Amino acid sequence: MDFIDQIKAVSQQIPKLKEQVLTEEATKNAFVMPFINALGYNVFNPTEVCPEFTADVPGLKGEKVDYAINMNGVPIILIECKWCGASLEHPKHSSQLHRYFHATEAKFGILTNGILYRFYTDTEKTNVMDEKPFFEFNMMDFNESMVNELKRFSKIAFNPEQMADFAKNLLYTKEIKRLMAEQLTEPSPEFVKFFASQVYTGKLTVSVTNKFTEITKRSLKEFINDRITDRLKSAIDLPDTITTGTQSTSNQDTELDGEADSALSENEIPITEEEMQGFLIVKAILREVIDISQLQFRATKNYFGINLDNKVSKTVCRLWFKSSKKYIGIIDVDGKEAKKSISSLDEIYGLVEILKDRAKYLTQNSLKQPKSVDLYES
């Protein structure tokens, strides 16, 4: 089994078990140990994966970290666990790991609640754990690129000499992305002036800069929407995709609701376990980009639709599971549906980015568009 398949297998157990996992110890057994095992480390060999590893801190004897992964008898990764329902934001959680990190030879620490894994190292000061993680891996929201990054921590791929530079690059990339996200929502004067100076020949007075602030925000949103549109359209060009006819999204609610395959009431249409599992996978994928309380499903004779706000015009995807040949259908911005054939539910994870883009597009385009801004120099 490939590494990504092992991670998916662990991920698929989380929604099934989470409601029954009520303690930290249960979280370790149900989620963390399978995760460590997927990385290739033998959780049943205490010389390789040592539970309750003693990390004596000056003045605090007998401090124990939940797990230490050892290589050649030396700890290389420390893992501090919390209950799966706990937030990792509380400062005391990372401060515990900080103490353990300083007291051992390990260069990497992981703080986890069994779902979110935060990776730390010492990029700023040797043997002192950074305050910010350089990498985060969410078991309910990942793509192939993130799995490839995670694989660097697997037993077969772990290389201590190369990991230092890798950690620094990831940390800097993460921080630059954070800054870019801030500029998207609230661009700084310096950011606005950089763009304004490229297109405006007059003097950048306070009044003009304020107006360019709104223009910059609008331009960035439109640029992102255009990229999302291109990405959604590209779904139609998948090698084994079937594209259906065009239909305007403005009248989808009325036209699709009147389709023959909706002739039966929803109460009369059986919903299969496979359809519900597909819905839960899509729900898990989208929880990072939308309020999942918006996510609804609508069963018809031919397909199982997943939409926002119970509106067909806001369809995220359709699961065509009624026949032996299964498809997942994505609606693009022009109302065209691209059907991607799948042989198992796991293959839905291969469309993570497209599903997220579709959900973001539906959410963003339901917001009120900004008014046009006229430029003038006061």
Per-residue pLDDT of 291-337, as tens digits, reads 888 899 998 888 999 999 888 888 999 999 988 888 999 887 777 78
- Minimal CA–CA distance to 276: which of 11, 68, 83, 16? 16
Last residue of a domain, one of 165, 199, 226: 226
Let me know if residue 376 belongs to a domain.
Answer: no
**Residues in a beta bridge with 307:** 296, 315
Let me know if residue 369 belongs to a domain.
Answer: no
Give the CA distances from residue 152 to residues 46, 175, 333, in Å, rounded to whole numbers and listed in that order. Answer: 22, 20, 37
- Say if residue 129 is in the same domain as residue 274: no
- Say if residue 172 is in the same domain as residue 190: no
The domain total for the chain is 3
Residue 242 has pLDDT above 60, yes or no: no
- Residues 114-140, mean pLDDT to the nearest whole number: 89
pTM, full prediction:
0.55
Let me know if residue 160 belongs to a domain.
Answer: yes
Residue 186 has pLDDT above 50, yes or no: yes
- Say if residue 18 is in the same domain as residue 159: yes
Dist. CA 150–CA 160, nearest whole Å: 14
Band (pLDDT 50/70/90 cuts) for residue 159 is: confident
Domain interval for residue 198: 184-226
Non-local (6+) Cβ contacts of 194 within 8 A are: none
pLDDT of residue 251: 43
- Say if residue 31 is in the same domain as residue 171: yes
- Say if residue 151 is in the same domain as residue 41: yes
**Residues in a beta bridge with 75:** 70
DSSP 340-378: EEESSGGGGGGGHHHHHHHHHHHHHTTSPPPPP------
Dist. CA 55–CA 62, nearest whole Å: 7
Let me know if residue 285 belongs to a domain.
Answer: yes
pLDDT of residue 376: 38
Q: What is the mean pLDDT of the chain?
A: 81
Instruction: Determine contact, residues 121/109, Cβ cutoff 8 Å.
Output: yes
**Residues in a beta bridge with 327:** 320, 341
